Amino acid sequence: MQPGPYDDFGQQAKTNARILNAAARLFYRKGIRAVSVDEVAAEASVTKVTVYKHYRAKDELLAKCLHALDERFFGWFAGEVESRAADPYDRLLAVFDVLDVWFRRRDFRGCAFINAAVELADATHPAHEAVMAHKTRCRRYFRALADEAGIEDPDAISDQWMLLTEGATITALVEGDRDAARRARAGASAILRGLRAPA
């Protein structure tokens, strides 16, 4: 299976990287509340004391994981989009082709950031900033694609792409609908055709 958006943050032997990799895998696979620091330590092959030497609390570890996942996700996502289309206009639709590949992976468990937001309803939680930073980054990326494509109102496209991509992601997870990205792509294509239609 090809590397995915939430695979390990490199193969460094450093203890901190092992802890982050282990925590990210467990949080994504099992959920945040279901994972203990003891379990993270065991997965990373370190002691619980070692985990606490790097992170004062589980909440701090989670926040760091999400910031790291944001970097990992965009390295993967933007690279995949750009490899599928050279034209900025086509890249707007390639977004959904990349989601389609992701949704069909055996290890797909939805968006780590949406999952975190659902589990951690408290906006003052240390991880909330990481969740919001990811959403802002997605919105800016879609806006940049629309701007490069010469679309008159790139902010509107960014808003619509956020709704389509997040809706498709939730549908794929909750309903097990692996075709959700393809349907979202059809909707996005209709939006773009409307923009190109003669006045």
Q: What is the pLDDT of residues 139-176, one digit of tens each?
A: 999 999 999 999 999 999 999 999 999 999 999 999 99
The tokens of 13 are what?
């032997």
pLDDT in tens, 44-75: 999 999 999 999 999 999 999 999 999 999 99
What DSSP letter does each residue of 183-199 carry, written as one string? Answer: HHHHHHHHHHHHHHS--
Q: Which of 91-95, 103-107, 147-151, 192-196 has the lowest mean pLDDT?
A: 192-196
Dihedral sign, Cα of residue 40, residue 45, residue 47, residue 50: negative
User: In the prediction, which pLDDT does 199 show?
Assistant: 47
Mean pLDDT of 171-197: 93
User: In the prediction, which pLDDT does 6 show?
Assistant: 67
In CATH, which of 1.10.357.10, 3.90.1420.10, 3.40.50.300, 2.40.40.20 is domain 59-196? 1.10.357.10
Q: Which amino acid is at 122?
A: D
Is this structure's pTM higher than 0.85?
yes
What is the pLDDT of the chain when averaged over all its residues? 92
Per-residue CA distances from 60 to 20, 21, 55, 56, 158 (Å) = 11, 15, 6, 7, 31
Distance CA 189, CA 74 (A): 23
Mean pLDDT of 97-109: 96
